[in-house]
Amino acid sequence: MSVIDPQPPAPGSTDAAQAALHDRIAADSLTTRRDYLRIVATVSGGLAVGGVAVASGILHRHGDGEGPPEPKRIADRIAPGESLAFRYPGAEDRAIAVRMDDGTLAGYSAVCTHLACAVLWRKDRGDEGELYCPCHEGVFDARTGAVTAGPPPRALPKVLLQEREDGSVWAVGTARSGEDAREALCRQQGGDAALCRNAAAPAERSDRP
Ligand code: FES
């Protein structure tokens, strides 16, 4: 019986093959690491730029359009304690309407002024409900849109609402963060004194149903 010993590789070939393999692994892992770092840098850079842009109001925001937006019927009726998500003035502009228990109707942009997450209505929080952003626990006053907790840097811009005699609710304009309804309507109507005088401030009135 013969035993065949494993044949040793030719002198020098093992070292060369190992060196080549090592170089390839090193090159691959370097590329992977570089790619990874590039992706991380791109994503965090994008988030940082987006965050700064949203926080400073550089991106499109409610109330930036030319002239007054077209009125839009958003509901047949909104009962006390109810909220309604809708889009206004554009198809991409998320908005929310809430009616508090005392009948006050208020409308806001539903885009959080921190990092643009969707703002929700929490009826059972506080004395009369609150507008809440779940991303970083941002909270806004339902009556004014002002920030009451969390990191949002600015109040929610208002969407001006009007309730008509048949109970239907209409969005009729937009205001910038911190701007009241009358100022917003005047600005959108070109500051015409007569129009400004006659302009209602629909989002700020309290209509008991
Ligand atoms: S995105 Fe709303 S609190 Fe951060």
- Could you state, in chain order, the average pLDDT of each consecutive group of 10 residues for the chain (209 residues)? 43 58 53 45 42 44 64 96 94 95 94 97 91 97 95 95 94 83 72 54 40
- Residue 194: per-residue pLDDT: 55
- pLDDT at residue 129, rounded to an integer: 93
Q: Are 133 and 152 in contact (CB under 8 A)?
A: yes
In the numeric block, the tokens 């539903």 are attached to 110
Number of Cβ atoms within 10 Å of the Cβ of 103: 14
Q: How far is the CA of 132 from the centre of ligand 1 (A)?
A: 9
Predicted structure pTM score:
0.64
Q: What integer pLDDT is reported at residue 150 of this predicted model?
A: 97
| Ligand 1, residues at Cβ distance < 6 Å | 112, 114-115, 117, 133, 135-136, 138, 150-152
Ligand 1 pocket mutation pick from 135, 147, 154 by most atoms within 8 angstroms of CB: 135
Q: What is the pLDDT of residue 165?
A: 94
Euclidean distance between CA atoms 196 and 126, whole angstroms? 35
- The pLDDT, as a whole number, for residue 187 is 73
CA atoms within 13 A on the CB side of 87: 4
